[in-house]
Amino acid sequence: MKNCLTIAGSDCSGGAGIQADIKSFSANGTFGMSVIVSVVAENTSRVISAYDVPPQAIRDQLQAIFEDITVDGVKVGMLSDIETMLVVAQELKKYKPQYVVIDPVMIAKGGCALMKPQALSTLIQHIIPLAFLLTPNIPEAEAITGIEIASMEDVKKACVAIYKMGADNVLIKGGHLDGEPADVLYDGTQYYIYNGKRINTKNTHGTGCTLSSAITANLAKGYDVQQCVKMAKDYITKAIENALEIGNGHGPTNHFYEFYNQKGIK
């Protein structure tokens, strides 16, 4: 079995962050591990607070994993401030994992900022160049590139701009555009369009985390990036279609829908 690591914030309600990542790793056939960089008190409706983990604790967690366990894929999520970004960048350069998938989380589902605005330049200079794949949504891609995205052509321009920042591959998720959602993958030479369908549900908490960690799991298993995106898109679509009615706000996706359906669990 391949081993995947998430470096991200902890969501105590279990729908996003490292909790979603580990579920997604498991559902996609890999062993999941975590390095917690922030403890987020949130639920399906709001974020109450977020406490960043001290840099040395981040270093220690990474050392504990890399000195003992082979890491086949790394997913990086919420990095809230400059200090956290710099320590993660330094450690990843030291350990050199083959696959690093970065989901540049900036805002929680309920609208709360999870990345300090002054950290954006550090993200661009120190984190993005580490990415085998960067997976921003439309607002994140706009913040990173300064490009206002209102069309598929704008998405492609943003892909190129991010690629030039050092990411090996760029996947911009198109769910914020009007019409049926389409994601665009750019590998430096070619665009790949992944058309989807808009699902009528409010239960989409953790979809970005789940998608990026599913891609990470399949990269670790040896699939190429185009295959991984297709497999992860199919997986997240089913997870949303079978989303769970938990909480009063945006409920979580159903990471183990296939297992639950087989067992008759509702």
How far apart, in whole angstroms, are the C-alpha atoms of residue 248 and residue 266? 18
Catalytic annotation on 266? no
> How is residue 108 written in tokens?
């929680």
Active-site position among 6, 204, 210, 253: 204
Q: Is 122 an annotated catalytic residue?
A: no
Does the active-site annotation cover 206? yes
Residue 166 appears among annotated catalytic residues = no
* Annotated catalytic residue 96: no
**Considering 9, 32, 206, 251, which one is annotated as catalytic?**
206
Catalytic residue among 173, 174, 210, 228: 173
Q: Which of 32, 208, 216, 251 is catalytic?
A: 208
Mark whether 209 is an active-site residue: yes
Out of 207, 210, 216, 253, pick the active-site residue.
207
The residues carrying an active-site annotation are 173, 204, 206-209
